[in-house]
C-alpha cells in the first residue's frame, strides 16, 4: 500500500533530436578573392555547418580570371576550413540556393552604401523564395575599404597588393599584369 504522492514514471529515454544542417551560400564574383572575402568566409564557417562559396558566372562582365581559375584560387586559399565548398553557378542566387538545399545567403557589408544595396537584394530574394534568409556580417575595420576593383586597379598601376589578397592570388595578379 502506498500512502503519499502518486508514483511518477520517469522515462530515461531522451527524445532524439534531429538537427537540420544549416547551409549558407556566399555568392560573389571573387575576381579576385581578397582578404576581406576570406574574413567573411572564415567567420561564416564558424557560424554555419557548411558554407558554399559560389562563384557567379556573369556573362555581362569581363573578369580578370576564368571561373575555373577563381574556384581554384579560393580552394587554395581555404584548405584550413573543412566545412567550405567552392562551386560556381549561373542565374538567380535563390534558385542556386534551393538546388543546394541552403537556407542562408551570407553577405559582407563594408560601408553604408553596401547595406542599402544588400538590403534591397535581400528583400527581393525573399519575394522569390521565402525559404531563404540573408545574414550580413560587417567586415572587420582593417578590410572596410577593400574591394576586388581596388586590388585590380592598384596592381594595374604597379602597386603592391600583398597585404590585400592571399599570397597565391597576389602571384596570379602580378603575373597577369606583367
Residue positions annotated with a catalytic role: 37, 61, 110, 148
Phi/psi of residue 107, nearest 5 degrees: -135, 145
Question: Is residue 37 a contact partner of residue 164, using CB atoms and an 8 Å limit?
Answer: no
Residue 49: name the closest of 86, 20, 26 by CA: 20
* Edge-first strand listing for the sheet containing 23-28: 84-89, 50-56, 23-28, 104-109, 133-138
DSSP state of 11: -
Contact 51, 82 (CB under 8 A): no
Could you give the CA distance from residue 28 to residue 72 in angstroms, rounded to a whole number?
A: 15
Amino acid at each position: 500500500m502506498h500512502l503519499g504522492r502518486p508514483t511518477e514514471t520517469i522515462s530515461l529515454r531522451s527524445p532524439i533530436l534531429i538537427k537540420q544542417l544549416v547551409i549558407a551560400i556566399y555568392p560573389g564574383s571573387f575576381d579576385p578573392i581578397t582578404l576581406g572575402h576570406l574574413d567573411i568566409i572564415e567567420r561564416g564557417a564558424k557560424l554555419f555547418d557548411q558554407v558554399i562559396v559560389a562563384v557567379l558566372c556573369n556573362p555581362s562582365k569581363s573578369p580578370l580570371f576564368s571561373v575555373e581559375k577563381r574556384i581554384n584560387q579560393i580552394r587554395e586559399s581555404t584548405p584550413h576550413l573543412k566545412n567550405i565548398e567552392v562551386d560556381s553557378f549561373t542565374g538567380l542566387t535563390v534558385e542556386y540556393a534551393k538546388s543546394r538545399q541552403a537556407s542562408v545567403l551570407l553577405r559582407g557589408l563594408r560601408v553604408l552604401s553596401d547595406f542599402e544595396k544588400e538590403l534591397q537584394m535581400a528583400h527581393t530574394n525573399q519575394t522569390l523564395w521565402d525559404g531563404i534568409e540573408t545574414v550580413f556580417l560587417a567586415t572587420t575595420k582593417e578590410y572596410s575599404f577593400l574591394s576586388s576593383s581596388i586590388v585590380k586597379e592598384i596592381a594595374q598601376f604597379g602597386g603592391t597588393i600583398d597585404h590585400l589578397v592571399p599570397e597565391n592570388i597576389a602571384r596570379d595578379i602580378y603575373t597577369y599584369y606583367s
